């Protein structure tokens, strides 16, 4: 059992379309808080998604689902036809599903559980505006789906607001801040003398949506005496493109390839600032756990919970001037960067980490179970 007293007294079941490898540590943590165990039901992604998945869990039972992927884009659906067979075999006391109305089989799972008076919670990013040719129908389907659940867990505060706006009762909406790293157990190493050239770090998969072209331009726009050493960690389909762009715009950029786990430590220790100019990026939390201030593009709402004036800057997506201004501001005061890095570290220790995320899940499940019994 984890170091907290919070736990779920029954058996928990969790449905996922797929189990990305980056999500496995969270489910390992969550399973430790379930006194009668946890079973996770997940299938394989489409080949073109190139999602790296986990094939086993140590603390939970992983049941491999058969995913039937139908159509694509706004018409995409995923069927998991064996979902009620899984529930029948596992007999869980509570179920957490992805809060996604595009998985029709999940509705069968909800009915199966609720017929037996067992709670079902959804978990998701929120309910942002929809567009496209069938936006109206999708919006109606999403609302019906969300209101069929006993409760909803949002990744972020913004997501919780969106769920309440759809009509989910406020006392049935919870926030478990999306976390990618465990609670740090020690102060990060410091190898950042102020007398040398500042070091700006990027870590992530090298694909177009990361917008490294914007970072090259922002570095080049700085006065020569303030231009940083730019270190790019990662690999991916657009590495050659980014290397070509860097050579033309900011030749000082250094590509060091993919690094993982302990290999990343010396790079975080030597950096002054972490920048994520595009979308996605679990490395933001890694950087914060290593005591770095951050510049991050706004996205799904999780960034707003992580990045505050005390530890970094949020920039408008695809806005070159916004990135230029924030990078210049950040590198103008190295002492301030150190203080902001300390706040990043505090946030990952006290507020947003895998342990806290798991605890908030369990509290949400326990609350909904109590509401159902009252």
Note the pLDDT tens digit of each residue in 130-144: 888 888 999 999 999
pLDDT for position 192:
66
pLDDT band at residue 302 using 50, 70 and 90 as cut-offs: confident
Q: State whether residue 71 is helix, strand or coil.
A: coil
- Tokens of residue 252, six digits: 């000082």
Q: Which neighbouring-strand residues pair with 312?
A: 294
Q: At what angle do helices 354-373 and 24-31 cross, to 10 degrees?
A: 50
CA–CA dist 238, 251 (Å, integer): 17
Beta strands in the chain (DSSP E): 12-18, 38-43, 61-64, 68-70, 77-79, 94-98, 120-124, 151-154, 173-175, 199-203, 229-233, 254-257, 273-276, 294-297, 312-315
Q: Which architecture characterizes domain 12-179+353-373 according to CATH?
A: 3-Layer(aba) Sandwich (3.40)
Q: Which neighbouring-strand residues pair with 15?
A: 41
Q: State whether residue 177 is helix, strand or coil.
A: coil
pLDDT per position as a tens digit, 160-189: 999 999 999 999 999 999 998 999 988 887
pLDDT per position as a tens digit, 45-91: 999 887 889 999 999 999 999 999 999 988 999 999 999 999 999 99
Taken as a whole, the chain contains a residue count of 374
Q: Decide: 238 and 207 in contact? Cβ < 8 Å.
A: yes
pLDDT for position 1:
41
CATH topology of domain 199-350: Rossmann fold (3.40.50)
Residues near 281 by Cβ (< 8 Å), separated by ≥ 6? 203, 204, 210, 296
pLDDT band at residue 289 using 50, 70 and 90 as cut-offs: very high
Residue 40 has pLDDT above 50, yes or no: yes
Identical topology for domains 12-179+353-373 and 199-350? yes
Q: What is the mean pLDDT of the chain?
A: 93
**Phi and psi, residue 319, nearest 5°:** -110, 100
Say which residue the tokens 């914007």 belong to.
Answer: 214
Domain boundaries, the chain: 12-179+353-373, 199-350
**Phi and psi, residue 274, nearest 5°:** -110, 135
Please compute the mean of the pLDDT values over residues 103-126 and round it to a whole number. Answer: 97
pLDDT per position as a tens digit, 313-346: 999 999 999 999 999 999 999 999 999 999 999 9
Q: Decide: 7 and 35 in contact? Cβ < 8 Å.
A: yes
CA–CA dist 109, 120 (Å, integer): 9
């Amino acid at each position: 059992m984890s170091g907290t007293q919070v736990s779920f007294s029954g058996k928990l079941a969790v449905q996922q379309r797929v189990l990305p490898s980056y999500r496995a540590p969270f489910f390992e943590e969550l399973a430790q808080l379930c006194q009668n165990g946890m079973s996770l039901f997940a299938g394989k992604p489409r080949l073109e998604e190139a999602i790296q998945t986990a094939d086993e869990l140590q603390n939970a039972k992983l049941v491999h689902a058969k995913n039937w992927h139908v159509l694509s884009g706004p018409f995409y659906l995923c069927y998991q036809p064996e979902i009620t067979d899984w529930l029948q075999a596992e007999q869980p006391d509570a179920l957490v599903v992805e809060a996604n109305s595009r998985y029709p089989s999940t509705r069968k799972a909800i009915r199966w559980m609720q017929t037996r008076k067992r709670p079902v919670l959804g978990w998701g990013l929120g309910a942002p505006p929809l567009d496209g040719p069938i936006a109206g129908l999708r919006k109606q389907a999403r609302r019906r789906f969300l209101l069929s659940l006993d409760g909803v867990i949002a990744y972020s505060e913004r997501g919780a607001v969106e769920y309440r706006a759809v009509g989910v009762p406020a006392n049935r909406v919870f926030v478990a801040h999306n976390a990618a790293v465990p609670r740090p157990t020690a102060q990060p190493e410091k190898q950042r003398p102020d007398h040398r050239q500042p070091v700006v770090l990027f870590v992530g998969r090298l694909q177009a949506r990361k917008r490294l072209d914007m970072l090259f331009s922002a570095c080049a726009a700085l006065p020569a005496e303030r231009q940083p050493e730019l270190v790019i960690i990662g690999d991916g389909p657009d590495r050659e493109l980014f290397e070509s762009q860097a050579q033309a715009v900011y030749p000082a950029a250094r590509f060091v390839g993919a690094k993982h786990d302990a290999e990343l430590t010396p790079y975080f220790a030597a950096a002054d600032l972490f920048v994520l100019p595009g979308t996605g990026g679990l490395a933001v939390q890694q950087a914060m756990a290593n005591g770095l201030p951050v510049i991050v593009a706004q996205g799904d709402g999780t960034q707003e919970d992580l990045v505050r004036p005390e530890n970094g800057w949020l920039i408008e997506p695809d806005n070159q001037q916004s990135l230029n201004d924030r990078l210049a501001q950040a590198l103008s005061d190295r002492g301030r960067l150190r203080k902001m890095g300390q706040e990043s570290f505090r946030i990952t220790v006290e507020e947003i980490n895998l342990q806290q995320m798991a605890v908030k899940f369990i509290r949400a499940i326990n609350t909904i179970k109590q509401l159902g019994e009252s």
